[in-house]
Structure 1
């Protein structure tokens, strides 16, 4: 039996694209993807929500980019110092070190531990990111005893040796940090802190 040339084939049933439905239906028009109005509305709402999230994500990224552009060199210096100090605390906690100056156990449960510099950032800014010059120290010693410098030196000699301490004390070099330097320092110490914490968790 021959099929007439103008006879159309009946459309095949399709599965509704609405994940909450999934029923089979026979399309009434070309490109129909859902079984009815309610499923079409549901798909539209899902797509709008996805688009909204994508726009919000782009918006947040754009805000971050703009904030980054508005930062001063001082802002970058502060963030680099914070990243460095966080690493020093994580390093000494992982090593189980006592307070560098008092020799007493440190309280890691709260916010009682500083990253104390032997030669202060004010008097030796070129050593602010030198790991030999900075160690975990109780807030009491760092802030209320002006760093407890005499006992700090004794603890530092015990930890890194007389030769290294002499080198720190005689270092008068000048170091100027560009904004790019500070960004790199921040990234480096954040990565080192993550690695330390990952190692502790493993």
Structure 2
């Protein structure tokens, strides 16, 4: 009886990839050197995937440790970034001074007409927040008089008076804050894609 010759295989070492005839059952590489190289590659892949799993677990643990105020900061940051991108995409000038805004650096704020401290229920109201120069927002305390003039020109007197009259109370839950963060990040991504195109 004639023994069957094993079929040639391709070496599994990505750097080698030569054809060889296996000497043993289950042999996947052509030489011990290729076996060591493949083992090193597999160990590196395993380390990378383990590191990714650990990073995901750390992210989940950090998320669980976040307080309501941490979620509020995340939502406010996402909202403010959206406001800056909204007004940047529309080519708008500073709401209070009317001067062109510097989008290249960190010179533009998302300024609230009614401040977050005095009207926290309006912190995520898009009518109440517009791109504003740092000079006007921080050093001129929001430049409220000129802000009102610019706001009337942008959204109308009736909408401004509705904002000024709004004294409602709003307490956001953690789930609402998470939803707001996700919503405004998605809107910002869309605006960025639109500008890149």
Instruction: Give the shorter-chain TM-score range.
Output: over 0.9
1:8, distance to aligned residue in structure 2 (A): 2.4
Cα distance per residue 1:97-152 (max 9 Å; x no partner): 11111111111121111100000000000000000000011111111111111111
Cα distance per residue 1:46-101 (max 9 Å; x no partner): 11111111000001001100111111111100110000000000111111111111
Provide the C-alpha distance between the structure 1 equivalents of 2:90 and 2:7, rounded to a whole number of angstroms.
69
2:103 to 108, 116, 123: 108
Residue matched to 2:121: 126
Residue matched to 1:42: 37
1:26, distance to aligned residue in structure 2 (A): 1.6
1:148 aligns with 2:143: yes
Residue matched to 1:137: 132
Aligned residues: 197
Query: Deviation above 3 Å: which 4+ runs of structure 1?
Result: none
Residue matched to 1:158: 153
Classify the secondary structure of the residue corresponding to 1:168.
Answer: helix
Give 5+ residue unaligned stretches, structure 1: none
1:187 aligns with 2:182: yes
1:68 to 60, 63, 86: 63
Provide the C-alpha distance between the structure 1 equivalents of 2:79 and 2:140, rounded to a whole number of angstroms.
23
Classify the secondary structure of the residue corresponding to 1:116.
Answer: strand
Classify the secondary structure of the residue corresponding to 1:135.
Answer: strand
Give the aligned CA root-mean-square deviation in angstroms: 0.9
Provide the C-alpha distance between the structure 1 equivalents of 2:46 and 2:54, rounded to a whole number of angstroms.
12
TM-score of the two chains, using structure 1 as the length reference: 0.95
Provide the C-alpha distance between the structure 2 equivalents of 1:57 and 1:179, rounded to a whole number of angstroms.
27
Provide the C-alpha distance between the structure 2 equivalents of 1:160 and 1:134, rounded to a whole number of angstroms.
11
Classify the secondary structure of the residue corresponding to 1:122.
Answer: coil
1:12, distance to aligned residue in structure 2 (A): 2.3
Give 5+ residue unaligned stretches, structure 2: none
TM-score of the two chains, using structure 2 as the length reference: 0.97
1:87 aligns with 2:93: no
Classify the secondary structure of the residue corresponding to 1:119.
Answer: coil
1:10, distance to aligned residue in structure 2 (A): 2.2
1:193, distance to aligned residue in structure 2 (A): 0.5
